[in-house]
Amino acid sequence: MSSPEPKKGNSSSGKEQTEVGNYFVSNYPPYSFWSPDQVPLAHEVMERDAPEDYPLGIYFHIPFCRKRCHFCYFRVYTDKNAAEIRAYIDAGIREIEGYAAMPYFKDRKPKFVYFGGGTPSYLSVSQLQDLTDRMKDAFPWDETEEVAFECEPGTLTEKKLDQIRSLGVTRLSLGVENFDDHILELNGRAHRSGEIQRAYSHAQSIGFPQINIDLIAGMIDETEENWLRCIDQAIKLAPDCVTIYQMEVPYNTGIYKEMQKNGKVTAPVADWPTKRRWVSIAFDAFVSAGYTVTSAYTVVKDPYKTKFVYRDALWGGSDMIGAGVASFGHIGGVHVQNEHEIGAYLNKVTDGDLPIHRAYSIDNEEGLIREFILQLKMGRADMDYFSSKFDADVNDLFSKPIQHLQEEGYLSFDGQQITLSRDGLLQVDRLLHEFFLKDHQNARYA
Ligand code: SF4
């Protein structure tokens, strides 16, 4: 195995304004290395039987939103009518049935199901019922430990929340982002603070096993005073889990388009040290309120009760069918991503094909690095686990980046266990590149 090279210098000493680019590392190797040439490798895997007891999940992408947030880089549509949404759901079901017919997925049941977007809660009650009934026909949910569902607060009526609960959703995730109406409006969010309170109260009253709220540190016009108020309000709601992202400005966002138009290099949002400080303040406030920091982005009220099966299984290398336009999946060691335009996606499904656009077959070393960096996002990694799972000398492989990051104060290492410092945790996505193979470093996550 070749050792990844540490990055030169320490960019934390620079000004660290927020410029265009993807900060968040969600997978490895970077997407720019995935290609249509490797799609046949995914099909080859699916012709074989799966290893016994290998966990499976299903992700379903709902690409519709009421309006497009200025910071959004996801594949979303704001102009589709009921007939087009119906056609999309039909295609998604056909896609899932296509997977169910492959030997690799025969008789398997999902451990987790995740509805992401876009805005899954944009669907009507009847569309949701139809979608989930037909999904369960293809892959029964009777052994499913977690059904996660993302919501935009303004799309939730009491009736819809009741329905979402009755479908079997166990983890409701509310995209709150901020509690201030001016900031919500300026950043292009469709919902307002009153809708957050209404949706949250009803969701809590009907007993979802787990409610998560998302916040973003550093939206346009955010101030320290307002951020502190947001933290206070989040603590008052007392959700089971809070996920805090640091505002990034990827290439295909409205904010970047505006920057280009005005010839700006720096985004009109807080710089990285400020965002890190705000997340750190939030972590401290939640810890004082009895929460535990469980990753670079999450605090949970009860770490023994509040699990996130989707994240843990996926980061641990489980299989996941990624259904819907532009969705990502992972099948027997092959990363896959679907067609990323709805027209191309629907055409492929109509032709009876799986709509996979690009793929990447990871080798043992890439699988190790992938799982290692994703676990570091939780703040720690146990070298023995990786040595035995991947039959590799992990200490040797990662010795340079570990030493470098230790010298910079981002982690401590006792020869067995890596533990990130708070400073390391708050900028973990930037540091993870040091563990990448040389060819993958500084690649765009697009
Ligand atoms: S609600 Fe989410 S997916 Fe929809 S536009 Fe806003 S950020 Fe994007």
| HSE value, Cβ hemisphere, 13 Å, CA-based, for 89 | 23
- Is ligand 1 within 6 A of the CB of residue 146? no
| HSE value, Cβ hemisphere, 13 Å, CA-based, for 282 | 35
Q: What is the rounded average pLDDT of the residues 65-85? A: 94
Question: Longest Cα pair distance anywhere in the chain, in angstroms?
Answer: 59
Distance CA 220, CA 32 (A): 29
Atom number in ligand 1 closest to CA 65: 4
Distance CA 439, CA 446 (A): 16
Q: What is the rounded average pLDDT of the residues 403-410? A: 97
Of 294, 313, 332, which residue is a domain's last?
Answer: 313
The residue range of the domain holding 270 is 31-313
The CATH number covering residue 120 comes to: 3.80.30.20
- Is ligand 1 within 6 A of the CB of residue 401? no
Atom number in ligand 1 closest to CA 117: 3
Residues 123 and 196 in one domain: yes
- Is ligand 1 within 6 A of the CB of residue 250? no
Distance CA 60, CA 113 (A): 8
Of 262, 286, 313, which residue is a domain's last?
Answer: 313
At 156, which amino acid appears? L
More confident residue, 179 or 54: 179
Residue 269 placed within a domain: yes
Residue 16 placed within a domain: no
Q: What is the rounded average pLDDT of the residues 31-35? A: 95
Residue 10 placed within a domain: no
| pLDDT tens, position by position, 289-340 | 999 999 999 999 999 999 899 999 998 889 999 999 999 999 999 999 999 9
Structure tokens at 2: 């070749």
Task: Answer whether 190's CB lies under 8 Å from 67's CB.
Answer: yes
Residues 302 and 388 in one domain: no
Residues 294 and 385 in one domain: no
- Is ligand 1 within 6 A of the CB of residue 233? no
| pLDDT tens, position by position, 321-335 | 999 999 999 999 999
Task: For ligand 1, atom 3, name the residue with the nearest CA.
Answer: 118
- The DSSP 8-state label assigned to residue 77 in this structure reads B
From the list 325, 326, 321, 324, the residue with the least C-alpha distance to 310 is 321
**pLDDT-based confidence at residue 445 (cuts at 50, 70, 90):** low
Question: Which pLDDT value is given to residue 446?
Answer: 54
Residue 148 pairs with which residues in a beta bridge? 114, 171
Residues 175 and 87 in one domain: yes
Residue 60 placed within a domain: yes
Task: Answer whether 250's CB lies under 8 Å from 22's CB.
Answer: yes
Residues 88 and 190 in one domain: yes
Task: Answer whether 446's CB lies under 8 Å from 251's CB.
Answer: yes
Structure tokens at 24: 């968040």
Residue 11 above 50 pLDDT? no
- Is ligand 1 within 6 A of the CB of residue 119? yes
Residues 245 and 379 in one domain: no
From the list 12, 130, 115, the residue with the least C-alpha distance to 57 is 115
Question: Which pLDDT value is given to residue 341?
Answer: 95
| pLDDT tens, position by position, 206-224 | 999 999 999 999 999 999 9
Residue 2 above 80 pLDDT? no
Question: Which pLDDT value is given to residue 22?
Answer: 83
Number of domains in the chain: 2
Which residues make Cβ contacts (< 8 Å) with residue 202, sequence separation at least 6?
156, 158, 161
Task: For ligand 1, atom 2, name the residue with the nearest CA.
Answer: 118
Residue 340 placed within a domain: no
Distance CA 176, CA 30 (A): 29
- Beta pairing class for 241-246 and 171-177: unpaired
Task: For ligand 1, atom 8, name the residue with the nearest CA.
Answer: 72
Task: For ligand 1, atom 7, name the residue with the nearest CA.
Answer: 72
- Is ligand 1 within 6 A of the CB of residue 77? no
Residues 56 and 196 in one domain: yes
- Is ligand 1 within 6 A of the CB of residue 66? no
- Is ligand 1 within 6 A of the CB of residue 216? no
Residue 360 placed within a domain: no
Cα of 421 vs centre of ligand 1, distance in Å, is 32
* DSSP one-letter string for 163-186: HHHHTT--EEEEEEE-S-HHHHHH
Which residues make Cβ contacts (< 8 Å) with residue 176, sequence separation at least 6?
153, 196, 213, 214, 215, 234
To test the ligand 1 pocket, which listed residue (61, 152, 252, 325) has its Cβ within 8 A of the most ligand atoms? 152
Task: Answer whether 211's CB lies under 8 Å from 200's CB.
Answer: yes
